[in-house]
Amino acid sequence: MKADANPNLGDIQALHLLPRWVTSAPSQDTDSATFSSGAALALLDVVVRDPSGILPAGLLRDRLALEAAAACLKLEGRFESPSDIRDAVCLARAGDALGPAGEMFVRWRKIARVNLSVFSWLAQVRKLLPDRVAEDLLELGAFDGSPVAQAAGVLADALQRFPREEAAALMLADVALARAVGWERPVPILAAHLNRADVRAIADGAGDARLRVDQAMIDACDAAIRNAADLSRRAARLNAIAPKLRTKGAGDALVLFLGHDAVSPSGMLSPMIQGTTFAMTDRAARRLCDRLVDLDVVRELTGRSTFRLYGV
C-alpha cells in the first residue's frame, strides 16, 4: 500500500523535457532538423511505450485529440476554443447533433482510439475520414523511410490531393507515424504544431515539406513529453487517493477520469457510470467530483457554477 501511495516519482521525472541539444536545432538546416526530429521522436517513443506503467495513455491521447481538433478548426476558419469544443461534446445528450466543433473532436478522439495492431484498423480509420479521402486511402500507404519521413510523405500527398481536407490529412499523418514507430494507437501530435502557413505551403508543394514537418515534430514531441509527465504525476496522485474514496462506483469513475479529457457528472457519471451498469445519482456524482477537487487530484475545468466539467 505504501508503495502505491508513494509512486516512484524518479521514473516520472526521468523524462519530462527534451534535452536542449534537440530542441535548439538551427531552424533552417535540413540535416540537423531531420536528425533532431528523429531524436525527439525516439524520446517520445520511450514515454509512450511507458516501461514503468505510469502514463495514463488514454488520457494523454484524449487531451492531444482535443488540441488537434482545436488546431484543425482554426485551419478551417472556425473560432471555437478548446472549452467550446469540450462543452459541445460533454453537454450533448444522446442523439443530439454536435455541431462542427464537437464533431471534429469526436473524429480525433475516435482516431486516437483505433487499435492499430488489429486487422481491421484500416477499415476503422477509413470510417472516420470523408468519403473521397477514404476511397483513395490504399494509395496513401506507400511511403518508405524513417517514421517522420513517412508521416511527412503521407501528409504532403494527402494535402496535395485534398487541399481542403486538412484534418483528414493530419489524421493520416499521425496514423502513419504511429504505424511506423509501432505504437498501438495513434497519438495526435502533428496538427497542433503546424500553422496555417505551413499547411498551405505543404498543400501547394511550396518549399520543403519535410523541413516543416521536422520542425513541427520537434515542438510536438517536446509538448507531448511535458504533457505526459504532467499527466503521469496527476494520475499517480489520483491512484494514490483512490483507496480513500468510499463512494460506491468510485473505481469506475476514476477509470473514466483517466481516459477522458473531461468528465461531466450529470452526463457521464449519472444516472449510470458511462461504460458500466453502475447506477449513481446526480447528487452522488456531484459530491464525488467535489471530493476529488478537495483532494486536489481533479480540476473543475469551466469556472462555471453550473454545468461543471471536471478533468485530471
Partner 1 sequence: MAGDAFDRELEDLPPDLRWREWMGRIEAVIFGSASPIPRSDLARVVGQGASVDLLIEDIQAELTGRPYELVAVADGWLMRTRVRFADAIRTAADVNEQLMDLNEFEVAVLAAIAYHQPLTRDGLKDIFGKDISRDLIGRLRTQELIATGPRSPRAGAPYTYLTTQKFLVTFGMESLRDLPDREGLQDAGLVS
Query: Which residues lie near partner 1 (CB under 8 A)?
Result: 76-79, 87-88, 91-93, 96-102, 130-132, 135, 164, 302, 304, 306-307
CB-nearer residue toward partner 1: 3 or 94: 94
Q: Residue 130: left (phi > 0), alpha (psi -120 to 50), or beta? A: beta
Minimum Å distance from CB 76 to partner 1? 5
Rounded distance, CA 78 to CA 280, Å?
Answer: 37
Minimum Å distance from CB 101 to partner 1? 8
CB-nearer residue toward partner 1: 79 or 119: 79
Beta-carbon contacts of residue 96 (< 8 Å; ≥ 6 apart) = none
Rounded distance, CA 259 to CA 238, Å?
Answer: 13
CB-nearer residue toward partner 1: 56 or 267: 267
> How does strand 299-300 pair with strand 310-311?
antiparallel
Read off the C-alpha cell for 32.
Answer: 540537423
Cα–Cα distances in angstroms (integers) from residue 214 to residues 43, 189, 194, 283, in the given order: 15, 12, 10, 49
CB-nearer residue toward partner 1: 88 or 189: 88
Minimum Å distance from CB 90 to partner 1? 8
Q: Is 295 helix (H, G, I), strand (E, B) or coil?
A: coil
Minimum Å distance from CB 126 to partner 1? 11
**263 pairs with which residues across the strands?**
310
Minimum Å distance from CB 271 to partner 1? 17
Read off the C-alpha cell for 55.
Answer: 502514463
CB-nearer residue toward partner 1: 18 or 301: 301
